[in-house]
Structures are given as C-alpha cells and as structure tokens.
C-alpha cells in the first residue's frame, strides 16, 4: 500500500502528460484534487491499521542495485507516518486553493503531483540512496515551481538561489551517506541494517566528519542559521501554493533526516556534538524571530518565522543527545515534541502562506504598511488570519502549544540556559504577529492604489476551505493530541535508546 500511496500522484501526472490537451484548466485541478483525496483516504486506512508498538511497518523490499548495496526499501513508523499524513493533507489543501490558477495549468498540476510523490517517497524511504533520490528530486520540482509561477524575474533569481544552496547541501548529504556505506560490513545503504550495525561506533574523527557532512546537508534544507539565507527570497517570490509546500513539507525533509538518519546512525557523534546542535537551534529560534520582527513584508515575515520554528526542532533533537543531567523520558519527550512541531508547523505555516497569497491577489503587494483597517472590508480574511497568527505563536488550544511545551519540558533539564534563551522566541513571535495584525486589520481603512475603486473582496470558498481545514486539524491536535502522540512516542523512545547505546 505504501508504494501505491507514493506513486499514485506520479502515475496520474504521467497520464495527464500523455493525454492530448482536451481538459479545461479547472478539470486538471479537479483531477489533482481527486488524486490527493484518494491518497489521503489511503493514508487514513494505513493509520487505522498501524500498531505504534510494532516499530517499522508496511515494509516492502525489492532488489534495485544489489552490486552497490542499494535496494527499494520502504516502510513507516511513528516518526514518518504523521509526516506522510501531513503531506497528503497539505497537498489536498493546496490543490483546492489552486482552483483559481489559470497560468499553464497542466504543467502546474503535474509539477505538484511530482512533488507529492517525491515528498511521500522521502518519508517512507528506508534506504539512503532512495532517500537521496527523492531529496534531490524535491529540489528540481520546487525550482520549476518558483521559476515558472513566481514573481517574474525575481522569482527566477530566487529559484536559482534556492537550487544552488539546496543542491550543495544534497552533495554534502551524499558524501555523508557514502561515508556510512564504506564503514559498513557488508557494504549497504539500507537504513535498518545500518542502524542495527552502528558501523561508525568508536571511529572518532571519521564519524565526526560523516556527521558534519550529513548535518550540513540537512541543516541547509531545514533551514538553520547560518544556512538559511536561501529561504526568504524563495518564499517571497514563489507562488502561494509553492510557499505552502516548501514550508509545510520540504523543510521537514531536513528536520526528519535528523531523527531518521543522523541520530540513530551516528549516536556517538551525536552525543559528542549535542551542545553544538543545541546552540545552533537556540540561535535559529532567536535570530529568526528577531529578523521576522523587523520585516515590513508580510510573506517575508512568515518566512523568517519558519527559521524560528524549525529552530525549536533542532534545539530538541540536540537536547535529546545530552545524556548527562537528564533521563530517557525527558529526552524522549523532546523528540516527540520535535516531530509534533514538524506536523504543527506544516499545518499552521502552510495556512499562513496560503493567506499571504490571498493578500497578494487582492492588493498585488505583501507590504504590511500598504494596508490598514482590512477587517472592515474583509472580516473572514481578518478572522482566519488572526486565528492562524495566534496558532503560530503557540497559544494553548493549538498544536503549536503541544509541540513547544514538550520541547521545552524535554530540553530544560539538560540544556537549561539554551532553553531559557529559546523561550524568548515565543515573546518575539507574539510581538511580530500582533504588530502585523494591528497594522493590517485595525485602524483607519486604507488600501493599496492597485485595488480597484470597487473595494477588496473577502475570502472565496476555494480559499476558505483549505485554510480553515488546516487550522481545524491544528486545533484538534491542540485539544485532543493523544491520537497523534500515541503514534509518535514509541518511535521517539526507540530513537533515544539508539542514541544512548
């Protein structure tokens, strides 16, 4: 079933490309919606049959390049299943939002179907080369989305910067994977076999260099300071749908790589350099929030909050590698919070980027100061944006609070100072969102000159349904999180046991 879920969007993409141009623009989007809905239904069925206590499930192994130790090996556990579900839900939301797209629609739909397949493929991959193939293909797919449907020449420049930065990261990642392969006896790229063998135990500097290569590759994709500079232009000049997928799914590939690859395969080096990882996470939290606070561009502000929020994930996984002064339960809680934060960030920031697209569609600018008193003209837009903003800053009742509470509780015992510093990120996030909401939605009504004299229209159904659905799921997780945590916690405990060996 995993292979069906993974490759169904790619199959539909191939069919659409082979068919003559007989469908209308709206029909192409409807086919995409139907495909995403079927994929989501299959994942729900997968979830209902999943036993959190059984580890890796729904595995499939096929010989691929046996001479090089490469195989087609897929499976899911409590770390990957929530991200697979998030991927299907967010792509469905973006498909519904895209019903208004009119520019080269067939190519647009096929690129997003390709991205859905490579995203799902990465989260289910249990072979390092398979992981790398999907990792690289995600870069190619998003490059064409930003270059083809972004904001003109700036979009093409941002796409090139995105490609170069993240491709360099993928090369570093590949070097690290080869280092693991060469250390294993027999040589293999299989994640399950490598985890069991722990080939770099006691290898000192060699293991440290492998962790450095893998860590840099994943840190660029996450992104963390100082590898984040590709992110703001890529988000600002991408189409809203592309930004939602980039933030909601593609950034998680790096963070997921830390808990799936770096921590269990390099436990000794992870413990040794845990403090460095914690510092990088804390700096990313504070720096991302401070720079976001200084932005006058609404979409760029949201982009920098991604650096802030993903910094919490890095802080948590770093603290989970610190054995002194803490216990296994606290470290497991930090990893559970990190995975929950990935899901939460995908839902909430995905919705915020779709809402930023609504703003640009109406006023042709993201400038915060260009708008005032929007609540009087667009009450639905103002209400949904306010809910998304409060969810993003982590108020109780939403998934962000659940994730950040676990991260801080799990990290505080071992890394008290770094965690206390990172806590200031919540205050800064509250300040930046409240400033934006006050400036754009309250006060004397003022609209950009680009808006017709007839006024500004409120949210349409194709904009309301996807954004409200994403926020509703974030609310459900915030109020009744047990159904999600029951899946993640056993896998988190397994990771902690591997790190401590």
Structural tokens at position 71: 């195989």
Share of the chain above pLDDT 70, in %: 99
58 phi and psi, to 5 degrees? Answer: 55, 40
Mean pLDDT, range 300-327, rounded to an integer: 91
Q: Scanning the structure block, which residue is given the tokens 């989260």?
A: 123
Which residue in this structure is represented by tokens 């954004």? 467
The confidence score (pLDDT) of residue 325 equals 65
pLDDT > 80? residue 320: yes
pLDDT at residue 414 in the model: 85
**pLDDT confidence bin for 443, thresholds 50/70/90:** confident
Could you tell me if 244 and 89 are in contact, meaning their C-beta atoms sit under 8 angstroms apart? no
pLDDT in tens, 251-297: 999 999 999 999 999 999 999 999 999 999 999 999 999 999 999 99
Residue 400 vs residue 151, higher pLDDT: 400
**What's the pLDDT at 23?**
82
Element (H, E) at 70: strand 70-76
| Lowest-confidence pick of 128-137, 404-413, 453-462 | 453-462
Q: Confidence class of residue 168 from pLDDT cuts 50, 70 and 90?
A: very high
d(CA 53, CA 488): 10
165 Cα distance to chain centroid: 17
At residue 448, does pLDDT exceed 70?
A: yes
Lowest-confidence pick of 82-91, 447-456, 488-497: 447-456
Identify the DSSP state of 125.
B
The answer to whether residues 227 and 251 touch, using CB atoms and an 8 Å cutoff, is no
Please state the rounded mean pLDDT for residues 447-473. 86
pLDDT at residue number 159: 93
Dist CA 430 CA 338 (whole Å): 20
Mean pLDDT rounded to a whole number for the chain:
93
So what's the pLDDT on residue 4? 96
Q: Distance (Å, rounded) from C-alpha 314 to C-alpha 425?
A: 14
The pLDDT of 15-36, averaged and rounded, is 90
DSSP 19: S
pLDDT at 80 over 60: yes
Nearest 5 degrees, angle CA 241-CA 242-CA 248?
90
Q: Quick check: 144 pLDDT over 80?
A: yes
> What pTM value is reported for the model?
0.96
Q: What pLDDT score does 20 carry?
A: 78
Measured CA to CA, the distance from residue 307 to residue 225 in angstroms comes to 8
Q: Is the peptide bond before 186 cis (omega within 30 degrees of 0)?
A: yes
3-state class (DSSP) for residue 372? strand
How large is the C-alpha radius of gyration of the chain?
22
Instruction: Give per-residue burial for 419-440: e unless 16+ CB within 10 Å, then b.
Output: bebbeebbebbbebbeebbebb
Rounded Cα–Cα distance for residues 255 and 317 (Å) = 9
By C-alpha distance, which of 223, 31, 254 is closest to 135? 254
Q: Could you tell me which residue, 102 or 13, shows the higher pLDDT?
A: 13
Asked whether residue 453 carries a pLDDT value surpassing 60, the answer given is: no
Q: Quick one: average pLDDT of 60-79?
A: 92
Instruction: Give the integer Cα–Cα distance in Å for 230 and 236.
Output: 11
Q: What is the pLDDT of residues 178-221, one digit of tens each?
A: 999 999 989 999 999 999 999 998 888 999 999 999 999 999 99
Please state at what angle helix 461-479 crosses helix 328-363, rounded to 10 degrees. Answer: 160
Task: List residues bridging with 65 in a β-sheet.
Answer: 70
Q: What is the pLDDT of residue 324?
A: 67
Buried b (16+ CB within 10 A) or exposed e, 296-335: ebbbbbbbbbbbbbbbbbbbbbbbbbbeeebeeebbbbbb
Tell me the mean pLDDT in the region 46-72: 92
Residue 71 has pLDDT above 70, yes or no: yes
């Amino acid at each position: 079933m995993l292979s069906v879920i993974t490759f169904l969007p790619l199959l539909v993409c191939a069919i659409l490309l082979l068919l003559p141009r007989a469908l209308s623009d709206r029909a192409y989007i409807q086919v995409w919606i139907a495909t995403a809905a079927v994929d989501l239904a299959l994942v729900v069925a997968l979830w209902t049959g999943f036993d959190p206590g059984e580890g890796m499930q729904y595995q499939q192994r096929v010989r691929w390049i046996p001479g090089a130790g490469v195989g087609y090996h897929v499976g899911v556990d409590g770390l990957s299943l929530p991200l697979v579900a998030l991927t299907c839900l967010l792509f469905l939301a973006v498909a519904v939002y895209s019903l208004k797209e009119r520019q080269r629609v067939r190519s647009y739909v096929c690129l997003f179907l390709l991205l859905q397949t490579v995203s799902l493929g990465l989260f289910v991959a249990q072979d390092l080369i398979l992981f790398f193939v999907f990792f690289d293909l995600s870069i190619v797919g998003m490059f064409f989305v930003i270059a083809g449907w972004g904001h003109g020449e700036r979009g093409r420049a941002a796409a090139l910067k995105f490609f170069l930065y993240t491709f360099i990261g993928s090369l570093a990642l590949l070097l690290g994977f080869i280092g693991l392969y060469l250390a294993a006896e027999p040589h293999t790229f299989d994640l399950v076999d490598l985890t069991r063998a722990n080939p770099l135990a006691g290898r000192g500097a060699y293991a440290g260099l492998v962790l450095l290569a893998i860590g840099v590759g994943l840190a660029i994709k996450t992104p963390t300071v100082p590898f984040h500079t590709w992110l703001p232009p890529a988000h600002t000049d991408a189409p809203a749908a592309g930004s939602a997928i980039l933030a909601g799914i593609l950034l998680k590939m790096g963070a997921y790589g830390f808990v799936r690859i770096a921590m269990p395969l390099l436990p000794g080096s992870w413990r040794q350099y845990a403090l460095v990882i914690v510092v990088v996470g804390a700096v990313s939290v504070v720096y991302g929030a401070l720079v976001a606070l200084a932005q006058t561009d609404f979409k760029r502000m949201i982009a920098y909050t991604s650096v802030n929020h993903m910094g919490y994930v890095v802080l948590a996984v770093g603290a989970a590698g610190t054995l002194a002064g803490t216990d296994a339960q606290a470290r497991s809680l930090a990893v559970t919070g990190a995975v929950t934060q990935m899901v939460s960030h995908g839902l909430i920031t995905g919705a915020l980027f779709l809402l930023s697209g609504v703003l640009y569609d109406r006023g042709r600018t993201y400038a915060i100061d260009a708008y005032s008193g929007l609540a009087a003209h667009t009450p639905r837009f103002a209400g949904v944006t306010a809910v998304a903003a409060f969810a993003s800053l982590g108020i109780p009742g939403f998934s962000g609070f659940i994730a950040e509470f676990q991260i801080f509780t799990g990290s505080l015992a071992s890394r008290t100072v770094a965690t206390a510093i990172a806590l200031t990120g919540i205050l800064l996030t509250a300040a930046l969102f409240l400033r934006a909401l006050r400036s754009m939605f309250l006060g004397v009504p003022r609209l950009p000159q680009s808006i017709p004299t007839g006024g500004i229209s409120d949210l349409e159904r194709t904009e309301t349904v996807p954004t409200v659905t994403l926020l509703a799921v974030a609310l459900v997780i915030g109020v009744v999180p047990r159904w999600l945590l029951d899946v993640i916690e056993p896998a988190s405990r397994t990771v902690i046991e591997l790190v401590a060996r």
